Chain A
Amino acid sequence: MLNRRKFIESTLTTIVGGALLPGAKAVFNGKDAYYRDLIIGHHTHRYKIDMHWGALNADFYPVNDCHEMVQDSKGRILLLTNHTKNNVIVYDKSGRLIDVWGTEYPGAHGLSLHVEGGEDFLYISDNERHEIIKTSIDGKLIMTIPYPKDSGLYKGPEEFIPTETAIAPNGDIYVADGYGLQYILHYNSKGTLLNVFGGRGVGDAYFDNAHGICFDDRDKSNPSLLITARQQNALKRFTLDGQLIEVIPLPGAFICRPVIHKNHVFLATIWSGQGLANSGFVSILNAENRMISAPGGSRPQYIDGTLQAMHQTSKIFQHPHDVCVDDDENLYVAQWNAGKTYPIKLVRV
């Protein structure tokens, strides 16, 4: 009996010793596959998954929906949540907590960062306060943009339910009223309304859930606006003065907001297929706006130039609401309605 136990112990020691030695992989031969990291995504954009990247003690730093994320000029990752104990949670790239602030944004939904005179500023779209709030990077109030009364299109503030902003290099502010009347509102940097386009209606130039907007300067001589029509599973490109240029259909993908990083467009996709709950994934488009990778989703396939309907393939994500791409090409995925969980990091391989 004693001998047998000694034998087991010494065998185990050998295995442990082997595991600790670098290059002693052979010990795990046969079981090697069991420990392999899962890799998701396609072609050039493939990732490992860190499910626990941003996890914090919810008793101290709670979240409700994790709506949007940006990286600031110092390389920090900022998360916007609609929990008023800490509307903004600031992490470093490893997921370490740096700071929290913000208690006055019950409908914190959209978060855009814009560098003005070498300084970072944030634009928060609050769909319960029915306004846009511009703050310094540490949360000091700079300006608010209330509902666009002067447009004559709104009966009152409650009709204005903004979901996103995009800031042009000259400071002009474009607001997507994605849960409201579906207009895109163009302001100058002081908050004076210059133009209105989009809105609800029949035809390509109109929106059903104009949820996200971004300033697309990939073509430097011809900058434009990329706007999501989430319920229409499409991305729409407009000139800066509101003329429709093109529609990019992404069938099966309920895309939240476009995020441009270098030449690619990243889009959290909250639902897929027929729009069932917990069916989200991440969409990645190349410079030609063709879907090339879908971490958590189906392999993008074009037949005669048409993207085949996208769908979720694995149960990694529930409801991705935004993607932040950091300077190491890694992704942070914030989720709406995901059991008050913190963002997931995808590490590019």
Chain B
Amino acid sequence: MIRIFILCIIVFLPFKVLFSQEGERIGTPYTSIKSVPLAAPIIHSSSYFFQDDMLVHLTLGIDQVQLHYTLDGSTPTIESPLYTDSILLDKSCILSVIAFHSDYLSSSEVRARFFKIDHAIQVKKISLDRIADEPYVGVGASGLIDLVKGSFDFHASTWLGFNGGDLEVLLELEEAIPLHKVIVSTLIDHRSWIFSPRYMEIYASNNGDDYKLIGKSTMYEVEETAERRFQYLEAPCHTESATFIKIILKNIPYIPDWHVGQGDPSWMFIDEIIFE
């Protein structure tokens, strides 16, 4: 038994900071391989929206790294496809990537959602019931239907920012379309006082006067621990014919108590509206 005890000490020796009985350090164990995770790999794409197909690139600048990915929303494993030069996307998907390496623990999972826009909807006119708040005025309302996705840099002109209150977006289409889903692309960045809208309502009309509620997204409850990320609000809709579409984005009433800005109006950022 004593021998087993000694064995245990020897085996665990390299993983402990060692101190003598007087509290002095008697060893300097270095971090061993397979004890530190890789950082998250980076997904490079020109946009998150595309019409026919699009090339996506992945990187993690460390030699001998292996990036495995899936396109169906499942968590990649070492068995999943191995990234080489690029990935060709030809349909809407969720790209998930995990990095593996012989000297490191695997990375956390990185996910990005890509949308294939099947048919470009001809928008005759888009307007907002309020102008975006300075300095986040972007390129105006037209930026919401230009298929350009913003980055995390919310100062960029791809984003429109609204401080407190709700937002109403009104679209007039060239011709009536059937509408099954509306997706609004938003940002969550609590450190910068940017919160997701709580929910949205979609109304449709064929004459521009009589609007009918045709869809509503689920309610988003603010997560205190939410990391900075893109947030897509989705509202399934039910109409076979819509020429005028009204989208009402409901802001949270005020910044929650756990945040440094508690009680103040929150910022709502949107960069794109997608119709399916």
Contact = CB atoms under 8 A, between A and B. Distances in A.
Contacts of B28: 50, 53, 94, 347
A49 to B, nearest CB: 4
B220 interface: no
Interface stretch (A34-42, A62-70, A213-221, A240-248): A34-42
A96 B25 contact: yes
Nearest to B34: A34
Contact of A276 (B7, B37, B228): B228
Contacts of A311: 39, 42, 59-61
B17 interface: yes
Nearest to B101: A314
Given A12-B3, A274-B152, A298-B61, A49 B31 contact: yes
Contact of B39 (A51, A52, A275, A279): A279
B224 interface: no
B39 A37 contact: no
Interface in A144-182: none
A15 B7 contact: yes
A13 B14 CA distance: 18
Contact of B31 (A19, A37, A279): A37
Nearest to B14: A35
A199 to B, nearest CB: 20
Contacts of A50: 28-31
A316 interface: yes
A313 interface: yes
A108 B35 CA distance: 33
Contacts of A95: 25
Interface in A314-334: 314-316
A53 to B, nearest CB: 8
B52 to A, nearest CB: 28
B60 A9 contact: no
A37 to B, nearest CB: 4
Contacts of B227: 276
A347 B6 CA distance: 30
Contact of A9 (B4, B36, B42, B65): B4
B85 interface: no
Contacts of A314: 36-39, 62, 104
A15 B4 CA distance: 11
- Most chain A Cβ neighbours within 10 Å, of B14, B30, B38, B60: B30
A156 B65 CA distance: 52
Interface size class of chain B, counting residues whose CB lies under 8 Å from the partner chain: 35 or more
A299 interface: yes
A335 interface: no
B60 A313 contact: yes
A339 B63 CA distance: 30
Contacts of A338: none
Nearest to A13: B3
A33 B33 contact: yes
A94 B24 CA distance: 11
Interface string A6-49: 00010011011001100000000000011111100000000011
B147 to A, nearest CB: 21
B32 interface: yes
A51 B29 CA distance: 9
A274 B153 contact: yes
A149 B39 CA distance: 46
Nearest to A294: B61
A41 B35 CA distance: 17
B90 interface: no
Contacts of B39: 279, 311-315
A299 B62 contact: yes
B210 to A, nearest CB: 45
Contact of B30 (A273, A299, A312, A347): A347
Given A276-B228, A313-B39, A314-B38, A298 B30 contact: no
10 contacts: A34-B33, A35-B14, A38-B36, A96-B25, A298-B61, A311-B39, A313-B60, A313-B62, A314-B104, A316-B31
Q: Which 10 A/B pairs are nearest by Cβ-Cβ distance? A: A298-B61, A49-B31, A48-B30, A313-B62, A37-B30, A52-B17, A312-B39, A315-B37, A274-B152, A38-B33
Interface of A: 9, 12-13, 15-16, 19-20, 33-38, 48-53, 55, 94-96, 273-277, 279, 297-299, 301, 310-316, 347
Given A48-B30, A274-B151, 8 more contacts: A13-B3, A49-B30, A50-B28, A94-B25, A311-B39, A313-B65, A314-B36, A315-B36
Interface of B: 3-4, 6-7, 10, 14, 17, 24-25, 28-39, 42, 59-63, 65, 102-104, 151-153, 191, 227-228
